[in-house]
DNA sequence: TCGTGTTATAACCAAATCGTTATAACAGCC
DNA sequence: GGCTGTTATAACGATTTGGTTATAACACGA
């Protein structure tokens, strides 16, 4: 239970999700991610490290650059399903509200 | 992106997942959840409140008891998929380790 | 109304988390 | 070697979060 919670925690941070989304089309090195996200370099590095430790992303040094890429694109399916559930629960809540008013 | 992260955050806490799992078979009132989880009553109440706000769970007062039930059992599918991905990434990491040693 | 069982909340502490700034570590090139 | 560009990390402050304890709020029955 604990391990699963930790896994979910990986996706529970907006900037981290942004970084991950940036890597969706394909591998990028750190500065490329920095440019695309507008986040600070230190912060991007931190998030990428976390994603690596979580096994979501793979680190591949190439010369003086370091590329990162998503290991299993199934994570995006997970995100999609989560988004769907989230939207459904929102609708449900609005309906509940409407039933009261 | 932010909303999605918040949704994931709901599932990023071990005790909260335990509470949710307890509700899997069907509706339970608070004390029933307390008994089954071994968590303190105040803590269970807190987590249930969060789950309610997140729209994962519905609150239904019945006399002096308050029952909670999972609105969309699809959340368990989400958890299943997450667990699967988690295990896969673990395997992958072990393989990477084995390749080095 | 008083007491009891149930649930919610407030106040508080400890720990975790996120971001920034500054700097280290590293690779390649002159 | 020294310089530059790239990436990682350490140190710090601010905020959030999870848990406990104590108590409030609520429904019900004697």
Q: Is residue B79 scored above 90 in pLDDT?
A: yes
Please report, for chain B, the start and end positions of each structural domain, with discontinuous segments joined by +: 2-71
Mutate to test the interface with B, among A14, A55, A57 (most CBs of B within 10 A): A55
Positions of chain A with pLDDT under 70: none
The residue behind tokens 């996706």 is: A11
CATH number of the domain at B2-71, please? 1.10.10.10
Exposed / middle / buried, residue A8 (Cβ in 10 Å: 0-12, 13-18, 19+): buried
Distance in Å, residue B87 CA to nucleotide C11 C1': 41
pLDDT tens sequence across A2-21:
899 999 999 999 999 999 99
Cβ separation of A5 and B21 shorter than 8 Å? no
Alpha helices (runs of H) in chain A, residue ranges in sequence order: 2-10, 14-22, 30-37, 41-53, 74-100
The interface pTM score, or ipTM, of the predicted complex is: 0.94
pLDDT tens track for B4-51: 999 999 999 999 999 999 999 999 999 999 999 999 999 999 999 999
């Amino acid at each position: 239970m604990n391990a699963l919670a930790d896994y979910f925690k990986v996706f529970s941070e907006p900037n981290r999700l942004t970084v991950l989304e940036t890597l969706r089309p394909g591998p990028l090195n750190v500065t490329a991610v920095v440019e695309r996200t507008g986040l600070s370099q230190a912060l991007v590095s931190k998030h990428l490290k976390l994603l690596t430790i979580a096994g979501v992303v793979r680190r591949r040094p190439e010369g003086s650059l370091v590329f990162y890429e998503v290991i299993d694109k199934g994570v995006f399916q997970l995100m999609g399903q989560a988004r769907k559930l989230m939207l459904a629960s929102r609708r449900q809540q609005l309906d509940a509200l409407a039933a009261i008013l």
